[in-house]
Amino acid sequence: MARIPYIETSECMACGTCEVLVPEVFRLDPDKGYAEVINPHGAPEDKIQEAIDSCPAECIHWVEE
């Protein structure tokens, strides 16, 4: 089974790091105050993992699709 990124929105600090690193997958919604996954399959897993590892709030995780 494939895995996809998931953002724990209650923990997101809206820093925008994930969107800067992988804009094909993540988008910061300033009105909502957190980032969203807009296309979970929009980039290779290693690129998504880089965003996960770079998240200062540690709120992005893998979940089974």
Kindly tell me if the per-residue pLDDT of 55 is higher than 80: yes
Domain count, the chain: 1
pLDDT tens string 5-44: 999 999 999 999 999 999 999 999 989 999 999 999 999 9
CATH number of the structural domain spanning residue 29: 3.30.70.20
CA distance 10 to 24: 22
pLDDT at 4: 98
**DSSP assignment, residue 1?**
-
Give the domain range for residue 10: 3-64
